[in-house]
Structure 1
């Protein structure tokens, strides 16, 4: 049976036109050419990308070529039925919604469809607004799910805050110029810099200045996830893929689709995971854990590390081919001690931002304070300065001049020793609480434990 005539379509589409549909892609699978053409015209009129297929086999071929957010699927297909294909899709880890349509149905069929994983069930002959409303619910659910996921990660401390790139020194101007050149391209970017310089802020700036700015920015601290779970975290998994996998789960590549995935501390990735990441970067496809099917993805990857990857490659801890693939474009962020002229601007920014957030009056900062702060070497970089301003707001005043100078050691120290002293000082302030100290330092608890082992600390 055919759906309603075209004149009904035009009215319904005009009443439901929304720009948000341009973000989504739909696959229509039906053996009736009239139904396929009807739905293709109706959905394209709303702005979304549409592909059509006449069988489950053709639909599977389209899925291997493109990413789809939803599938409109007829149950009665030549060869493999729509219900059979739906079950295999869900078992293979397909994360999108599936709307089943059929001309012959009863209550048992509808129940079976929902149990198999269908999002909705529509009877032929249908009106176009039925399909549109069903897809609208699917897209709205996907949008809310994605936003909630990203917000949860930000609340958990993985997202951080966007403070922006602050500073007008020559090194910062050069960095900003490079970001403006790199951001519009789809190329993978590697960000290098010491701990606390603002690698995630830089990655967010790249995302916001790119054509992907309207889609998700999804961050992951690679050191904060165990080697056993990192693959599932990135690619997702199907139900039963491993012990405890009671249901299918989407991975970060899915949530970042169309947007940017930021892999912080990429040097911490296990070698086996480095191999799989390289394959994704080259082929733009992921395979959920436990699935035999690959899923195409459109994700820009931005990676960051404070490690010397050349040394890691030489030591056999980092794959040479992945390193070359990541360093297509490299951004190096200067440490704060190399741009002391930016300290005053950063102090002003954090003073205004944090006083508003904490509900406290801003600090009174004198010219002498700024000179004192600018001459301190800041081994913890911008993060250390931010923490100092926050602590000073809570206590009611900045450290006096000689206290700030006392924070710096007059002896020439190696960077490793400066880092060690800074971490030990923060641990001392936290009463030895490593979890709290790791939060203040902006590193993972795993990283802090590794440092403690290196230094022979209990």
Structure 2
């Protein structure tokens, strides 16, 4: 349930509108009519989001905003104003407000902005628990789970950099939990009481990304009808996560590099130098060094970001961590869905171990949720699992061709082990489906083409999670593999 605090002297229209857009019991809306009442109430209520009118009967909304920031700078404050010039609202954004809306309110816009602010609040306030086996009853937030050597190094790395101010680069395949690690760095650091914002560089059109990060001046381009405060200015004093920074255009990378070097920038279309103090965490599933060698990423920015790198291992390389994760997520998802599943059968766990998990933790949670929705009884059985098959499209969630050299480079580290075995397994994930597709699923022909025994091929298929079925086609082997 999200809790909203509305500080506004309008006793009728605005409270009714907010209550209509955010009805109970999914939301709790409290209304106070003066700045003093709001400041008293926020200390006890600890709302997820605050809607604040700039024109209050007892004091200025800007004064209330400053006091709110002193109480807890992590609570997103959305300004509401009738002032069409919006100069005060823009000044509030410079002081750390989350956004501002104009009266009369566009209810669809209100729903969108408040919904986003609630998510931001949850990212800041819900703890990213770091531990080997956190309690499933812990409702405070997400958990980073694992005991394998690679995850132990991740925990140590979080501890080493949390209290520092230099940038951190978090790498790993899609779905490995990079944002969760970024939140753990933020929440265990010196800026944990300051704002935290996350921005996905791949999700924002190139033409808008610069304005989103650095802001723009009125009239700087078509449609720029007012000044906009960017994320680097808005989150000053706090932490900014730039997710999928490998997708940032080269032209914008130069401006980010300058900001890291000088902690200053200019808004789009402006000449005023803006000073800021932001701790930057970057995340990517790409090999930035390989991209830099190909001219797709600035080498100097890579070196600046990569002062300290935390690499998250893919799920398939985490050994017995899979069993820990399966049991933890099964219990958590079962509780969330109101189901009675408390255990995972050994056969189910064996089936899950045989799959390569191209989507990593995100895919594991999705599979378990589907299985629990199909389940009946306290034990999760293999029959409840959805079909697990290694699809060629799933090998790379970004839809790119597999880069073997980049894969090896990412794992060249002093603490790496079994690199030869891991690399051959990754090669098999691509080679075997291609060969079986070419032979229309005929394993005898596929084994002959590969130059290996059919028993060896079957063992590899089981290890990769490709399920063997029998075909009715005229085929000397008759064993077919399920391919997408």
TM range (shorter): 0.5 to 0.7
User: In the TM superposition, what are the counterparts of 1:190-229 in structure 2 within 5 Å?
Assistant: 190-229=169-208
Q: Which moved more, 1:137-146 or 1:377-386?
A: 137-146
How far does residue 48 in structure 1 lie from its aligned partner after superposition? Answer: 9.8
2:97 to 142, 146, 152: 142
Q: Is the 8 A contact 2:370 2:386 kept in 1?
A: no
Q: Which moved more, 1:194-203 or 1:247-256?
A: 247-256
3-state SS of paired residue (1:303) = strand
Distance 1:235 1:386 in 2: 35
3-state SS of paired residue (2:207) = coil
3-state SS of paired residue (2:268) = coil
Structure having greater relative contact order (Cα 8 Å, sep ≥ 6) = 1
Relative distance call for 1:153 and 1:186 in structure 2 (3 A) is same
Q: Is the 8 A contact 2:95 2:234 kept in 1?
A: no
Distance 1:47 1:227 in 2: 34
User: Which residue in 2 is equivalent to 1:117?
Assistant: 87
1:306 to 256, 273, 285: 285
Q: Is the 8 A contact 2:96 2:234 kept in 1?
A: no
3-state SS of paired residue (2:145) = coil
Q: Is the 8 A contact 1:372 1:401 kept in 2?
A: no
How far does residue 406 in structure 1 lie from its aligned partner after superposition? Answer: 5.7
User: Which residue in 1 is equivalent to 2:116?
Assistant: 152
Q: Is the 8 A contact 2:329 2:365 kept in 1?
A: yes
1:352 to 324, 327, 331: 331
User: In the TM superposition, what are the counterparts of 1:437-456 in structure 2 within 5 Å?
Assistant: none
Distance 1:305 1:188 in 2: 14
How far does residue 260 in structure 1 lie from its aligned partner after superposition? Answer: 1.2
How far does residue 159 in structure 1 lie from its aligned partner after superposition? Answer: 6.6
Matched, 1:414 2:384: no
1:376 to 347, 352, 355: 355
How far does residue 399 in structure 1 lie from its aligned partner after superposition? Answer: 6.3
Distance 1:218 1:231 in 2: 16
How far does residue 298 in structure 1 lie from its aligned partner after superposition? Answer: 1.1
Give per-residue Cα distances to partners, 1:79-113, cap 9 Å, x unaligned: xxxxxxxxxxxxxxxxxx9xxxxxxxxxxxxx9x9
Matched, 1:166 2:145: yes
Give per-residue Cα distances to partners, 1:149-206, cap 9 Å, x unaligned: 68506759x9799522111222111110111011111110011111111111111111
Matched, 1:267 2:246: yes
3-state SS of paired residue (1:331) = strand
Distance 2:427 2:331 in 1: 34
Give per-residue Cα distances to partners, 1:369-403, cap 9 Å, x unaligned: 22332343222211111111111122226562797
How far does residue 18 in structure 1 lie from its aligned partner after superposition? Answer: 13
Relative distance call for 1:256 and 1:150 in structure 2 (3 A) is farther
3-state SS of paired residue (1:356) = helix
Relative distance call for 1:407 and 1:47 in structure 2 (3 A) is closer
Relative distance call for 1:175 and 1:315 in structure 2 (3 A) is same
What TM-score results when the alignment is normalised by the length of structure 2? 0.54
Relative distance call for 1:248 and 1:138 in structure 2 (3 A) is closer
User: Which residue in 1 is equivalent to 2:344?
Assistant: 365
Distance 2:305 2:187 in 1: 20
Over the aligned positions, Cα root-mean-square deviation in angstroms equals 4.5
Q: Which moved more, 1:235-244 or 1:188-197?
A: 235-244
Q: Is the 8 A contact 2:167 2:279 kept in 1?
A: yes
2:375 to 396, 412, 421: 396
3-state SS of paired residue (1:261) = strand
Distance 2:350 2:116 in 1: 40
User: Which residue in 2 is equivalent to 1:186?
Assistant: 165
How far does residue 303 in structure 1 lie from its aligned partner after superposition? Answer: 0.7
Structure 2 gap segments, 5+ residues each: 1-38, 44-66, 71-78, 102-111, 127-140, 392-423, 435-484
How far does residue 302 in structure 1 lie from its aligned partner after superposition? Answer: 0.6
3-state SS of paired residue (1:414) = helix
What TM-score results when the alignment is normalised by the length of structure 1? 0.57
Distance 1:203 1:305 in 2: 12
3-state SS of paired residue (1:301) = strand
Q: Is the 8 A contact 1:234 1:253 kept in 2?
A: yes
Relative distance call for 1:17 and 1:327 in structure 2 (3 A) is same
Distance 2:171 2:239 in 1: 18
User: Which residue in 1 is equivalent to 2:294?
Assistant: 315
Distance 1:17 1:344 in 2: 48
Q: Is the 8 A contact 1:373 1:404 kept in 2?
A: no
Distance 1:199 1:48 in 2: 28
How far does residue 404 in structure 1 lie from its aligned partner after superposition? Answer: 8.0
Distance 1:227 1:140 in 2: 27
Runs of 4+ aligned structure 1 residues displaced above 6 Å come to 16-20, 46-49, 137-141, 143-146, 158-161, 401-405
1:336 to 292, 315, 319: 315
Distance 2:316 2:335 in 1: 27
Relative distance call for 1:159 and 1:239 in structure 2 (3 A) is farther
Relative distance call for 1:358 and 1:297 in structure 2 (3 A) is farther
Q: Which moved more, 1:185-194 or 1:376-385?
A: 376-385
How far does residue 140 in structure 1 lie from its aligned partner after superposition? Answer: 10
User: Which residue in 2 is equivalent to 1:242?
Assistant: 221
How far does residue 17 in structure 1 lie from its aligned partner after superposition? Answer: 11
